[in-house]
Amino acid sequence: MNSGLGDSVVLRWSRHPRCVGLARWELRKALAGWGLAPLEEAAVLVLSELLTNAGRHARVSPGREIETWYVRMADTLRIEVHDTSPDWPEVREPDLDAPDGRGLTLVAALADSWGVKDRNGPGKSVWAELSLHR
């Protein structure tokens, strides 16, 4: 798919945890096709965190899916995860004894920038950008 800004891949997923692995595989394919394999490790971790958060916390209505966008722009790889929940994610102070709660802290450490925005229709998009010139 061509977004006009660069190459992009848009896919839809259920909330099932196995979809995270499938989405990572699709991102790896896109990165290889775009010649961006050096970004794979960071990009896959960022995607995993964003998509896992959407699946666990978004409370997407039955029948609604989560959408991922992988967009290659001139200097940036942009990863977006769209869901229909109005609840925006919040960075939490990690509890060293807790098994979770570190996802957005990890995203912030790996990405050059990230954020949340309203989307067309219900819900939000959580996005992260990685520089192609790391």
Type of residue numbered 48: S
Two tokens at 53? 């958060």
Type of residue numbered 31: L
- Residue-level pLDDT at 80: 97
Domain layout of the chain by residue ranges: 7-131
pTM over the 0.75 mark:
yes
Q: Which residue is listed with tokens 């010139």?
A: 133
CATH superfamily of 7-131: Histidine kinase-like ATPase, C-terminal domain (3.30.565.10)
pLDDT tens for the chain, residues 1 to 134: 444 345 999 999 988 889 999 999 999 999 999 999 999 999 999 999 999 988 876 666 666 789 999 999 999 999 999 998 888 887 767 666 655 656 889 999 999 999 999 988 888 999 999 999 86
Which H or E run contains 48? helix 40-57
- Residue-level pLDDT at 63: 64
